[in-house]
Amino acid sequence: MSDQSSGWSLLSPLLIVIGWSIVLTNASRYARRSEIRGLCNDVDSLATEISAETKDFWLKKYEECSSSEVRHYIYHTENAIERLDKKLELLQARSQYSIGKSVEIIEKLHDKTTMDAERVKELQEERRVRVALQVDHDVAMCISAVEELFDSVAGEGFFQFAWRKLLTKCDGVGLCKKISDIYKMRLLPHLQRYAENFSRP
């Protein structure tokens, strides 16, 4: 009887701990989701800015641009792409999902936005239009890759999130190694001894 009552008295604090851990895990799931949404929005606006400036430079302003304005465009765009690269890196680290094409997209953006920008006035219209369109296309690819990533994060259920968090905290590989060590060092000798005793006549 007393054993039963002590069991019941243990159960209620245990339920409180479990309840709180569910609430906290869920809160951290929502916080992570809104942090990732924020990063996605940053990527979206940066990428759109790069596309708009590239279009402006290659199709509109190129004729009136002085050499210092061209220089400004090149460094400004390079730095904007670097910021975009950093944001994508952060997004992947925070979400623990990878954006497969991010390296390729960043490389293409660097390449196309500034290649031969110094001689923009000498280039044929077809080449200038092509640059603007290609950058627009790469930016669209970047934004859709980021939205796909957010879709995966948003679709993550509570248990999936909790499991991922547990693995990250415990270091999944380390945990498995620890369990296998315990099995080998502590449990296996006992089992062997038990098997030997059992097989004796």
Q: Taking CB under 8 A as the rule, does residue 42 contact another protein?
A: no
Q: Is 100 helix (H, G, I), strand (E, B) or coil?
A: coil
Give residue 173's identity as a one-letter amino acid code: V
Residue 97, Ramachandran bin (φ over 0: left; ψ between -120 and 50: alpha; else beta): beta
Q: Taking CB under 8 A as the rule, does residue 116 contact another protein?
A: yes
Nearer to another protein, 102 or 153 (CB): 102
Give me Rg for the CA atoms of the chain: 29
Residue selected from 37, 60, 71, 121 as contacting another protein according to rule CB under 8 A:
71
| Smallest distance from another protein to CB 7, Å | 58
Residue selected from 85, 95, 135, 143 as contacting another protein according to rule CB under 8 A:
85
Nearer to another protein, 76 or 178 (CB): 76
Q: Taking CB under 8 A as the rule, does residue 117 contact another protein?
A: yes
Is-contact 53 190, C-beta < 8 A?
A: no
Site map 135..174 versus another protein, x via CB under 8 A = ----------------------------------------
Q: 157, 149, 78, 113: which is closest to 141 by C-alpha?
A: 149
User: Which string of DSSP letters, residue by residue, matches 127-176?
Assistant: HHHHHHHHHHHHHHHHHHHHHHHHHHHHT--HHHHHHHHHHHHHTHHHHH
Which span (2-10, 52-60, 72-80, 176-184) binds another protein, by CB under 8 A?
72-80
Contact footprint for another protein (CB under 8 A): 67, 71, 74-75, 78-79, 82, 85, 103, 106-107, 110-119
